Structure 1
Amino acid sequence: MNASLTDSAALGRRIRERRRALGATQQSVADSCGVSRKFINELEAGKNNSSLGLALKVMGVLGLGITAAQPQSQNAKDYGREFAATLAAKDYRFALRLIGDYAASSVADGRPSLTSVPRIDDADYLVALAAITRWIATTTGSPAPGWSLRTKRSEAPIFPAEKIHPVGSRMKELIRQGTPPDLAAMNVWIRERDLATV
Structure 2
Amino acid sequence: MKSPSFTVASLADRIRTQRGVLGLTQAALANSVGVSRKFIVDLESGKETVALGLVLRVLKRLGFEEPGLRIINDRGSEIAEDFRETLEAKDFEFALRLISEYSTESLAEGRPLLAQSPELEDSQYQVALAAITKWIASQTNMPVPQWAADIARPSEPVFLSEKLYPVGEKMKELIRAETPPELQELNVWIRQRSLGTA
For this structure pair, what is the TM-score category when the shorter chain's length is used for normalisation?
0.5 to 0.7
Equivalent residues in 2 for 1:39-188, closer than 5 Å: 52-53=44-45, 67-68=58-59, 69=61, 71=63, 76=75, 78-188=78-188
Bigger Cα displacement from structure 2, 124-133 vs 70-79: 70-79
Q: Give the letter aligned to residue 106 of structure 2.
A: S
- TM-score (norm: length of structure 1): 0.68
SS at structure 2 position matched to 1:131: helix
- Deviation string 1:46-98 (CA, Å, 9 cap, x unpaired) is xxxxx94399xxxxxxxxx9733253987946110000000000000000111
Q: Give the letter aligned to residue 11 of structure 1.
A: T
Q: Give the letter aligned to residue 117 of structure 1.
A: S
Q: Where does the alignment leave 5 or more consecutive residues of structure 2 unmatched?
A: 1-17, 32-37, 48-54, 64-70
Instruction: Report whether the alignment pairs 1:6 with 2:19.
Output: yes
Aligned counterparts of 1:73 and 1:112: Cα–Cα separation in 2: 15
Identity %: 41
Deviation at 1:117, TM superposition (A): 0.8
- Deviation string 1:15-55 (CA, Å, 9 cap, x unpaired) is 9x9xxxxxxxxxxxxxxx9xxxxxxxxx9xxxxxxx94399
Aligned residues of 2:28 and 2:143 also touching (Cα < 8 A): no
Aligned counterparts of 1:189 and 1:138: Cα–Cα separation in 2: 17
Counting matched residue pairs gives: 161
Alpha-carbon distance change, 155 to 108 in structure 1, aligned in 2, over 3 angstroms: same
Alpha-carbon distance change, 96 to 112 in structure 1, aligned in 2, over 3 angstroms: same
Deviation at 1:12, TM superposition (A): 5.2
Deviation at 1:7, TM superposition (A): 2.0
Aligned residues of 1:73 and 1:109 also touching (Cα < 8 A): no
Deviation at 1:11, TM superposition (A): 2.1
Aligned counterparts of 2:133 and 2:174: Cα–Cα separation in 1: 22
SS at structure 2 position matched to 1:112: coil
Deviation at 1:145, TM superposition (A): 1.0
Aligned residues of 1:76 and 1:105 also touching (Cα < 8 A): no
Deviation at 1:13, TM superposition (A): 5.9
Aligned counterparts of 1:90 and 1:104: Cα–Cα separation in 2: 23
Q: CA RMSD in A?
A: 3.7
